[in-house]
Amino acid sequence: MTYRSYVAIGDSFTEGLNDPGHDGHFRGWADRVAERLAALEPGFRYANLAVRGKLLDQIVERQVPAAVELKPDLVSLCAGGNDLLRPGGDPDRMAKTFARAVRDLRATGAEVVLFTGVDPRDTPLMRHVRGRCATFYLHVRSIADLYGCRVVDQWSMQSLRDWRAWSEDRLHMNAEGHRLVAAKVCEVLGVPSEDDWRHTWPPRERVDRRVKLREDRLWLREHLLPWVGRRLRGTSSGDAVDPKRPSLGPYLTMADADSPFGDARTP
């Protein structure tokens, strides 16, 4: 199946943090998937409405109606991760909101792709909410069955359990992690891809304990404490951030880097 238009909605994961792209924007798995879809369909158009830090209610209130208005052939929705990190994140309540959003998106006739999250058992900051995450992502699977959606199951992706797929903040994937997710999405869509999400990492050299402690202290100072500070102040990293692709437009190549959509593709 080919797609003529694709809208990606969500938070930092779909925006593409921390996969550097062109012209100061992040690339990410969604841009990588759009690149593959554009290669298969002349005139393909792409929009990415995702903004870092957004909660499920914010995504459903603002991004879902915008996606419905754009009437694309394909929509990807990944939301709820930021809610699950907060003490009040109720996976059952979240599932009801999520289901309404999926219903509205499917009512347009669009193909909808949903996501489970990565198993957080190896992540110190998220390990304590593992049960809450598992409950919500079981809801996501049930909602996908109910409305006939495709599911990208990151929970089962062993390739993402290696820290070499993650950036220094330990919350967002790096370019390699986004590449693996893009390969998985392409497989779920039945789209050919040169990459394989079943990546096997080579053995790592043992890290000296003193080096590990130094890395942990740096992560605490540079990433964890600022994150906690934003929670206490009630602010978000995405408060002053606009969607990088607010409307459907061509997915252009590096030769068109001086165009409004020139950030779409990087080497």
Residue with tokens 């779409």, as numbered in its chain: 264
Q: Along the 267 residues of the chain, how does pLDDT read in single tens digits?
A: 789 999 999 999 999 999 998 777 899 999 999 999 999 999 999 999 999 999 999 999 999 999 999 999 999 999 999 999 888 889 999 999 999 999 999 999 999 999 999 999 887 667 889 999 999 999 999 999 999 999 999 999 999 999 899 998 888 999 999 999 999 999 999 999 999 999 888 887 777 777 667 766 776 677 667 766 776 677 777 787 899 999 999 987 433 444 444 443 332
What is the rounded distance in angstroms from the CA atom of residue 216 to the CA atom of residue 197? Answer: 28
Q: What is the pTM of this model?
A: 0.88
Return the pLDDT at 206: 78
Return the pLDDT at 267: 27
Structure token pair of residue 195: 């990459």
Return the pLDDT at 260: 42
Q: From start to end of 66-219, where are the E strands? A: 74-78, 111-116, 150-153
What is the rounded distance in angstroms from the CA atom of residue 156 to the CA atom of residue 125? Answer: 20
Query: How many C-beta neighbours within 10 Å does residue 156 have?
Result: 10
Walk me through the domains of the chain, giving residue ranges and CATH numbers.
5-199+210-253 (3.40.50.1110)
Return the pLDDT at 232: 66
Return the pLDDT at 21: 86
End-to-end CA distance of the chain: 27
What is the rounded distance in angstroms from the CA atom of residue 91 to the CA atom of residue 131? Answer: 10
